[in-house]
Amino acid sequence: MSDVSGDGDATATYPSLTVSASYKESGGGKSSSSKRRPSRPSFEAAADNELITTLHGSDPVKVELNRLENEVRDKDRELGEAHAEIRALRLSERQREKAVEELTEELAKLDEKLKLTESILQSKVLLNNHSLSSIMLHLTFCL
């Protein structure tokens, strides 16, 4: 960077450099085999984790996810069965209501027919009583 003063002179100014804390902790760049950590790419660490999970069983997160997915499938199946049962019950209820209506109509027809039959029977009884009384009257005059 350069700083231009009013008289045309250019002077260079540089930012101050400081040493980072991690550099100071590691001994200032001195190589020490006891403090040196081996650096491994992340894909190797992921492969190691995958190998460990394969050797020691499944990943608990995957196991839980599979369990939850199975539970959701079971609940969906149960929900489908419940919906089918509800539809069947509604259909059954409609059929029952229709049967009740038909039976009510038939009962009304039979009730009307019974009243008519009773009326006819009553008129026959009255007619027979009248006929019988007239026969009795006629017999009393004849004797």
On whether residue 85 sits in a domain, the answer given is yes
Total domains in the fold of the chain = 1
pLDDT value of residue 140? 78
Q: Which residue has the higher pLDDT, 39 or 132?
A: 132
Residue-number span of the structural domain to which 88 is assigned: 54-142
Q: Which of 18-32, 48-62, 113-127 has the lowest mean pLDDT?
A: 18-32
Task: Give percent of the chain above pLDDT 90.
Answer: 41
Q: Which residue has the higher pLDDT, 80 or 62?
A: 80
The b/e string for 48-74 (b: 16+ C-beta within 10 A; e otherwise) is eeeeeeeeeeeeeeeeeeeeeeeeeee
On whether residue 76 sits in a domain, the answer given is yes
Largest CA distance in the chain: 173
On whether residue 43 sits in a domain, the answer given is no
On whether residue 8 sits in a domain, the answer given is no
On whether residue 18 sits in a domain, the answer given is no
Q: Are 31 and 39 in contact (CB under 8 A)?
A: no
Contacts of 26 (CB under 8 A, 6+ apart): 32, 35
On whether residue 99 sits in a domain, the answer given is yes
On whether residue 137 sits in a domain, the answer given is yes
Q: Which residue has the higher pLDDT, 138 or 92?
A: 92
Structure confidence by residue, pLDDT tens digits, 94-111: 999 999 999 999 999 999
pLDDT value of residue 36? 53
